Structure 1
Amino acid sequence: MSLKLRLTIMNFLQFFIWGAWLITIGGYWFQNKGWSGAEFGAIFSTMGIASIFMPAISGILADRFIGAEKLLGIFHLIGAVILCLLPEVASPSMFFVVMLINMIFYMPTISLSITVAYSALQKNDMDIVKVYPPIRVWGTVGFIVAMWTVSLLKIETSAAQFYVAAAASAFLGVYAFFLPKCNTNNEHTDKSMIEALGLDAFKLFKQRKMALFFIFSMLLGAALQLTNAYGDTFLHDFAKIDIYKDLLAVKYPAIIMSISQVSETLFILAIPFFLKRFGIKNVMLMSMFAWVLRFGLFAIGDPGDGLVWIIISCIVYGMAFDFFNISGSLYVESQTDEKIRASAQGLFMMMTNGFGAILGSSVSGVMIDYFYKDEQGHFLWSEIWLAFAIYSLVVAILFAITFKHKHDPKEVENFSH
C-alpha cells in the first residue's frame, strides 16, 4: 500500500469519527432525551475545554516520550470505549463528564494525525505543500460520508450514532500502530514549561493589532459552534409539523447539512485568488458577512418551498468557515516571529476552537432556554437564527472599524514560496 493511500485512510477515519455524531447529536439530545438547551450548550463546550490544554500536552508527549502514531492509536482506542459508554448515561450532567473525557482524547488526535502525515512525507522527501492538501481533503470526505451513513441508517436521533463512531475509532486505533514511525527526542532541552506548552505566544496580546485579531478569532469561533450545534436539530424539529414531516430534508437532515462540508472543500480552492485580489482583511470580512448570510438564510428557510434558502446557506458556509480559518492562519504566519510561530498557530486554534467554542455553546444554550422558546417549550427558530445573524453582523462591523491592515500583494506571494 502506498504512503499516500495509508495517510488518506488515516485522514478519512479521523474525521469520519467526528462526523458520525457532531452534527446529529442535537437530534439525539432534544428528540430522544428531551434535555435542556443550556445543558446541551455545555456539551458542545467540551471540545473547547479540551482544545485549550490537550493539544499542547499531547504534543509534548509525542515529541519526547512516545511516537505520535502510537499516541494517536492509544487515544483513539480509549475514545472508542468512551463513545460506547455515552448511550448508557442517564443524566445530562454525567453526559457532560463522559463527553468531556471523550473530547480530551479526541481533540489532540487532530494535530497528532497532522504530525504523523508531515513526518512521513518529509522522510520520503515529498513536497508537503503539494502532496498533503489532496490527502487532507479526504478527511472532509470522511466527515461527509459519516453524516450520510448516520442519516441513511436513520439513526440521527439514536444512540447508534455513537456506536458507529466507536467502531471507526477502534479501527483507526489499531490501524495507527501500523502507520510510519515518528521519532521522539528524549534529549534535554532548555525550554521552560511555558515555552513547551506554547504559552509564550500570549505575549502577542501586548500588540494591539494581534490582540484584536485573537479576540475576533474567539468571536468567530463562537459562530462556528452555533451552526454545528443547532443546524441538524433545526431541520429535525419540522417533523412536528404535518406539512413538513414527510419531506426529504426532514427525514435526512444530515444529508442536507453535509452540503456545508462539500462547499468547504470547494472554497478552499478559491482562497489563493481572493487573497491576492482582495487581501487578508477583506477576505476575513467576507467570512464574517458570510456568517450573517448563513444564519439569516436559515431564519427564512424551511424544508418545503424555503428549502432553497437552506441549501444556499449551506453553500455559503464554505466561505464562512474557510475564509477566516485559513486566511487567519496565514495572517498569524505573516505577523509572528519564527521562534514562536508554531505557538502562535496553537494560540489561534485555542481562541477559535477553545475559548470561542466555550463562549458560543454555553451562552447560546442559556439564551435559547430563556428567550427563544414558546410557552410549550418549542424552539422559536426564526428568532434564534436572526439573533445569531445579528451577532455575526455586529462582529463584522466592529472588525471592519477596529482592525487595521493594509493589503500587500507581495505578502500573499510569500505564502506560496
Structure 2
Amino acid sequence: MSRLRLLTVENTDDPALRDLLDRSVIPDPEVSRRVAEIISDVAKRGAEAATEYGDQLGGGYQRIDDESLNQAVSDLDHRLRAAIETAIESVETYQRSQMPADRTISPTPGVEIARRWTPLRRVGAYAPGGKAAYPSTVIMTVVPAVVAGVREIVLVSPAGPDGAVAPVTLAAARLSGATEVWSMGGAQAVAALAYGTEDLAPVDKIVGPGNHWVTAAKLAVLGKCAIDLPAGPSEVLVIADETSDPTLVAVDLLSQTEHGPDSPAVLVTTDPDLAGRVEVEIERLLPDLERSDILAKALSDHGSAVVVPDIETAVELANHYAPEHVTVLTSDAEVVGGAVTRAGSVYIGEWSPESAGDYATGANHVLPTGGLAASYGPLSVTDFGSWRQVQTLTGEGLENLEETITALSDAEGLTAHGLAAQIRVRKIKDGVE
C-alpha cells in the first residue's frame, strides 16, 4: 500500500509542487468568526464567560492551587522527574547562551545611542492538553521566560475528560518556574490571558502552540497583547539520498506525523528507489505505534515523496517549503544541512533525530510552521523582553546634526521637528544654560 504521494520534478518551479507548497496557518474564516465572538464575550463578561465556555467546550476555568502543584511533583515517578529536570537544565543552558546584551555606540562626536533590553512583566504560556499531556511544551515555554527574568509567568492548559489537568503537566509547570497555573484552554483561555478577568490579570504576551482555535484567538488578540507566532500543524521535511537508511527516514517521518492527522511529512530524495524502501519500513513500523490511526491518516492525506535530480534542488525545495523541521540524512549531511537556511530547526546526520530536539537537547520545539520559517524563528529568551533605544546628545552633537534635522523635517512638512533642534542650537550659541 502506497501512503506517500510520489512526485518527480526537475526543479522547484514545477507545477506539480504547487499543492505541496501552498499551505497556510491562517484559520478557516468560520473558525475566526466564532473565535471573535468568544473573545468579545470574555472581554465583556470576564470570568463568568470563561467559565461558561470552559463548561461548554471543555478545558475548565480554574486556578490550580500550590498544594495541587506540589503534590503533582511529589507523585512523579523517579524516571519521569529525572527526565523533566534534565530537559529543564538543557533548555536553561541553551537559553542563557542567548541572553541579550545591552550595547552603546557613538556614531558621531557628541551622540550616544544605547540599545537596552528589559524582560516583560507578565506573560502567558499555552500548553496543549485535553486528551494528551505535553510537559515538554510547558518546559519550552516557561523556562525561557524564567531565564529572561519575567516575574509573572502564567501557564494555562486545558483539563482532560476527567475535568483535571494532567498531573505531569502540573508537575512540569511547578518545576519549570511558572508562577500561576490555570486549567483552561481554547479561544477562551487566550481571551482571558489577553483581556484579563476578575481573578486573572492580563498578560503582556502569549506564547505556545495550540490547535486552530488557539491560533485564531492569538491572531485576534494581537494588538491587545503580543504573541510569539501563529502556529499550524506540525511538519517535517527529510532530505535523503542513495546512502540514507530507509528505516531512519521512515521513523523520522512517523515521529512528526503522530502529532495529528493534519501534520505534513515530506521526503525529498535524489534516489528514485528510496521512496519505495521507505514505504516498506513505514508499513513495518506503523502497526506497533500507539497513534497508528492518526499516523495512517496523516501520511495518506499529507505525506509526500518528491524525487529531485540533485541535492542542490533538494535544498532549494526545502528552503522554498520553509518547514518547521528539516532532517538531513545524506552522505554529506553537514554541508547539505548548512545550506538549509529557511527552517525552524535542522537536524544533521543519522544520529540527530527530531525527537532529540523535542525533548532533550535544549533547543526549543516551539517553532514556526506553514512556511513561516521563512520569516520567524524558534521561541527563545529574546521573545520575553523588549528593546528600547536611549539617546544622549551633547551640545556639540546637536550642532553637528542640526542641518540634517532641519533639512529632512522641512522636506516632510514637519517644521516643529526642525524648530526643536534650532531653538536648542540658538541656546547653545547664546551661551544660555
TM range (shorter): under 0.3
Give the alignment's TM-score, normalised by structure 1: 0.22
Give the alignment's TM-score, normalised by structure 2: 0.21
Higher helix content, 1 or 2: 1
Greater Rg by CA:
2
Higher strand content, 1 or 2: 2
